[in-house]
């Protein structure tokens, strides 16, 4: 199988990640933070090592502000529902995923409102102005996707963080498509909450997610329960990470995530991004020469977008194209990518679109093979 669905989850995972997960089942099999025996403490050390690796990777000063979640959606829900209440307003971008839109629609029924600001990929200043004009006196959260999961467009999160900080509004970033792909430095930005999947650009296993908090704002909890400490307190402990982590952690997943981050550190995200962008530029250049292919993404440029490519073949539904490719042993993602606003912007809500996303393991041969198959489908259409 040639795998181009890396924006959904990266595959394959590095051998080090697979090995770490298997080893965790043997070496770190006790519940961390729940006991004082050697195996529990050894497991807790490994969990803490992952918090340290994450905080170092994203330049967050305190590893205790790294919260483990099940996925990026859970992190986003913790931020949104932990920040706003009846009568509050939220500003988001027009590139958001359903992991942001659906929690907000649920909150809408409880009296929360939101406004979508337009992201202009080639004009960061216009994007800032768009966010600026969307802010109201009751805006309690600004949330923006760092990179669109459909178009790859990057939002100017550094400037948006400054805007939010100036207005005294918490700022959250959905880094589902950028974590491990683009450098994110929490020490240089006033990002209050960074939401990440562990299983995409960080090359950890599915079932891992992260919420990084600067610590200047306090989220209310979505779930409460056992934290392994302060058990006589009737309330949830107020310190991070236990404030937001109730119940047993996904230790094998966390060990795999640690191995993924260590692997990324060894290879360097700049090197991987260079490789992926080169591949996407090669494919993009070839596809622009086919008259009945419509590309929705811009020419891959690291300053404007993350390496992914979205297209349709005239007269064909995206699902049909994906099925042709599947039969040729190629995995891509068709449909609406859980991002209805973006597809409305592209006018593709009826057809969907085909998305390709490379990983560190994608080769030039993979690009040549998929190009050949797309040509075949386009010619027969």
| Angle ∠(84,88,58) on CA atoms, nearest 5 | 40
| DSSP code, position 64 | G
Which residues within the stretch 65-94 sit at the binding site for other proteins (CB under 8 A)? none
Nearer to other proteins, 241 or 252 (CB): 241
The residue from 83, 227, 250, 318 that contacts other proteins (CB under 8 A) is: 227
Which residues within the stretch 240-299 sit at the binding site for other proteins (CB under 8 A)? 241-242
**Are the CB atoms for 104 and 154 separated by under 8 Å?**
no
C-alpha span between 129 and 117 (Å, rounded): 9
The residue from 12, 87, 138, 239 that contacts other proteins (CB under 8 A) is: 239
DSSP for 215-242 reads SSS-PPPS-----SS-TT-SSPP-STTG
The residue from 123, 125, 220, 229 that contacts other proteins (CB under 8 A) is: 229
Nearer to other proteins, 63 or 207 (CB): 63
Nearer to other proteins, 249 or 334 (CB): 249
Told to check if 5 binds other proteins by CB under 8 A, we report no
- Min dist CB 261 to other proteins, Å, is 17
Alpha helix stretches (DSSP H) within the chain: 15-27, 38-57, 72-83, 98-108, 124-134, 157-167, 251-267, 269-287, 318-327, 340-346, 364-379
| 251-267 vs 38-57: helix crossing angle, rounded to 10 | 40
Beta bridge partners of 295: 311
- Min dist CB 379 to other proteins, Å, is 58
Nearer to other proteins, 41 or 375 (CB): 41
Which residues within the stretch 22-51 sit at the binding site for other proteins (CB under 8 A)? 32-33, 35-37, 40-41, 44-45, 48, 51
Nearer to other proteins, 48 or 371 (CB): 48
Q: What are phi and psi of 265, to 5 degrees?
A: -60, -40
C-alpha span between 100 and 366 (Å, rounded): 33
Nearer to other proteins, 30 or 295 (CB): 30
Structure tokens, 90: 């939220």
- Min dist CB 172 to other proteins, Å, is 22
Terminal CA-CA length for the chain: 24
The residue from 2, 30, 39, 64 that contacts other proteins (CB under 8 A) is: 64
- Min dist CB 240 to other proteins, Å, is 8
Told to check if 214 binds other proteins by CB under 8 A, we report no
Beta bridge partners of 336: none
Where does this chain touch other proteins (CB under 8 A) — which range of 111-119, 235-243, 258-266, 311-319? 235-243
Nearer to other proteins, 64 or 135 (CB): 64
Q: What are phi and psi of 19, to 5 degrees?
A: -65, -40
The residue from 2, 18, 19, 63 that contacts other proteins (CB under 8 A) is: 63
Kindly state the number of chain residues that form the binding site for other proteins, as judged by CB under 8 A. Answer: 26
Structure tokens, 316: 């064909």
Where does this chain touch other proteins (CB under 8 A) — which range of 150-158, 225-233, 324-332, 355-363? 225-233
- Min dist CB 67 to other proteins, Å, is 10
* Residue 162: burial class (beta carbons within 10 Å; 0-12, 13-18, 19+): middle
Residues contributing to the site for other proteins (CB under 8 A): 32-33, 35-37, 40-41, 44-45, 48, 51-52, 62-64, 227-233, 237, 239, 241-242
């Amino acid at each position: 199988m040639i795998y181009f669905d890396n924006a959904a989850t990266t595959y394959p995972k590095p051998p080090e990640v697979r090995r770490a997960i298997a080893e965790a089942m043997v070496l770190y099999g006790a519940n961390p933070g729940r006991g004082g025996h050697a195996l529990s403490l050894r497991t807790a050390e490994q969990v803490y090592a992952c918090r340290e690796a994450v905080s170092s990777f994203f330049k967050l000063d305190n590893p205790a502000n790294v919260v483990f979640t099940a996925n990026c959606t859970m992190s986003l829900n913790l931020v949104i529902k932990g920040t706003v209440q009846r009568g509050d307003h939220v500003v988001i971008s027009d590139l958001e995923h359903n992991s942001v839109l659906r929690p907000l629609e649920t909150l809408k029924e409880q009296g929360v409102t939101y406004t979508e600001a337009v992201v202009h990929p080639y004009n960061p200043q216009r994007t800032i102005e768009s966010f600026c004009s969307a802010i109201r006196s009751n805006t309690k959260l600004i949330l923006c996707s760092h990179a669109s999961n459909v178009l790859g467009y990057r939002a100017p999160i550094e400037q948006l963080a400054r805007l939010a900080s100036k207005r005294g509004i918490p700022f959250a970033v959905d880094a589902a498509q950028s974590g491990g792909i683009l450098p994110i430095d929490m020490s240089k930005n006033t990002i209050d909450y960074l939401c990440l999947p562990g299983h995409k650009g960080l090359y950890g296993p599915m079932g891992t997610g992260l919420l990084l908090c600067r610590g200047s704002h306090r989220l209310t909890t979505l779930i409460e329960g056992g934290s392994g400490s302060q058990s006589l307190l009737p309330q949830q402990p107020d310190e991070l990470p236990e404030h937001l982590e109730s119940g047993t952690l996904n230790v094998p997943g966390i060990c795999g995530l640690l191995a993924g981050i260590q692997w990324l550190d060894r290879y360097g995200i700049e090197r991987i991004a260079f490789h992926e962008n080169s591949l996407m530029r090669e494919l993009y250049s070839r596809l622009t020469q086919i008259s009945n292919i419509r590309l929705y993404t811009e020419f891959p440029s690291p300053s404007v977008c993350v390496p992914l490519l979205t297209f349709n073949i005239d007269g064909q539904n995206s699902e049909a194209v994906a099925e042709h490719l599947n039969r040729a042993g190629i995995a891509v993602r068709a449909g609406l990518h859980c991002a209805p606003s973006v597809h409305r912007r592209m006018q593709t809500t009826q057809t969907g679109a085909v998305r390709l996303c490379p990983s560190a393991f994608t080769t030039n041969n993979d690009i040549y093979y998929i190009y050949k198959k797309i040509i075949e489908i386009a010619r027969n259409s």
